[in-house]
Amino acid sequence: MGSWYLPGMMTKVRFTVAYDGTGFCGWQKQKQEDQISVAHVIEGALEKVFAEKITLFASGRTDAGVHALNQVCHFSTHRKIDPAKKWDLCWALNAHLPPSIVVKKAWIAPEDFHATLSATHKTYRYLILNRPRPSAHLNRYAEWVRMPIDITHLQESSKILLGNHDFKSFQSVGTPVKDTVREIYQADWEWRRPEVLQFTVTGNGFLKQMVRNIVGTSLMLERKGQKPSKIKEIIEAQDRRQAGPPAPAQGLYLMRVYYPQDLDNRCIEL
């Protein structure tokens, strides 16, 4: 391994990873020592492949039980990686990862790329199984709602979320941030297939449990027969207690993280 070790020089590596959040305590390690985080498992695999201590950065944290299809991460290594050698880093990493975590693509990233700080916006998806009986196979991957849902109601309330708003009412306690204004670019409800509803939301950032609180609140308004426009009052109240409970974690997926085109262009695929 000595020949590919360059003292002082660091290579930055960017990669996308999918994970089944079931059974993990979330992306980041929690206080309880008996729970395993996704980041901890990936760092372990990276340290086996690179034979050095690795610190992993992600676009953001996901809660316990939340899934990702394309979480974006970066780390720096002293090892030299030659893209021309077509070394399959993903393959090497996946060999050390459990089947519930899959590294999909990797790049050499420019020095100024940072998975957390460079991210400009993110897309999340929420899945709901809407039928009289639950599913034995979807219970880890969607929320089950027994009573028929009126999708037009959800569509109407979601349209009110578009644009710049102070989403303080939709921020769960935990790590409160000072600036709770976020911009939502897209918020769509549609039938993915019969009995499966999907909510897709894109924004420049999301507060703690914001997507789950939006879904939980929208479903609460629909179920209680309240007007979709009621969500405007809830936003304006800037009071967490006005909104509904968070929808369960297992329905949520981090779908995509966006970075400036200029940074993407300077990444070299491995």
Instruction: Pick the closer one to a second copy by CB: 54 or 101.
Output: 101
For the CB of residue 250, give the shortest distance to a second copy in the complex, in Å: 10
Contact 88, 104 (CB under 8 A): no
Provide the token pair at 85.
């050698």
Contact 243, 180 (CB under 8 A): no
Residue 63 appears among annotated catalytic residues: yes
Which of 26, 61, 27, 55 shows the shortest CA–CA distance to 43? Answer: 55
Among 6, 55, 87, 104, binds a second copy (CB under 8 A): 104
- By the rule CB under 8 A, 99 interacts with a second copy: yes
Among 28, 35, 100, 116, binds a second copy (CB under 8 A): 100
Report the interhelical angle of 151-160 vs 230-237 (nearest 10°): 40
| Displacement of CA 132 from its chain's centroid (Å) | 29
- By the rule CB under 8 A, 102 interacts with a second copy: yes
Dist. CA 115–CA 109, nearest whole Å: 10
- By the rule CB under 8 A, 128 interacts with a second copy: no
- By the rule CB under 8 A, 64 interacts with a second copy: no
How many CB atoms lie under 10 A from the CB of residue 8? 5
- By the rule CB under 8 A, 143 interacts with a second copy: no
Residues 68-97 that bind a second copy (CB under 8 A): 90, 94
Rounded to a whole number of angstroms, the distance between the first and last alpha carbons of the chain is: 19
For the CB of residue 192, give the shortest distance to a second copy in the complex, in Å: 12
List Cα–Cα distances, 29 to 6, 195, 213, in angstroms: 31, 35, 23
Instruction: Pick the closer one to a second copy by CB: 131 or 232.
Output: 131
For the CB of residue 155, give the shortest distance to a second copy in the complex, in Å: 26
- By the rule CB under 8 A, 101 interacts with a second copy: yes
Strand partners, 93: none
- By the rule CB under 8 A, 134 interacts with a second copy: yes
For the CB of residue 57, give the shortest distance to a second copy in the complex, in Å: 20
Q: Which listed residue (20, 34, 63, 166) is catalytic? A: 63
Amino acid at 158: S
Provide the token pair at 112.
């100024």
Contact 22, 138 (CB under 8 A): no
Size of the site for a second copy (CB under 8 A): 18
Among 12, 14, 67, 256, binds a second copy (CB under 8 A): 67
Interaction mask 13-52, a second copy, x per CB under 8 A: -----xxx--------------------------------
How are the residues of the chain apportioned to helix, strand and coil, as percentages rounded to the nearest 5? 25, 30, 45
**Known catalytic residues?**
63
Q: By the criterion CB under 8 A, which residues form the site for a second copy? A: 18-20, 67, 90, 94, 99-102, 104, 133-137, 139, 141
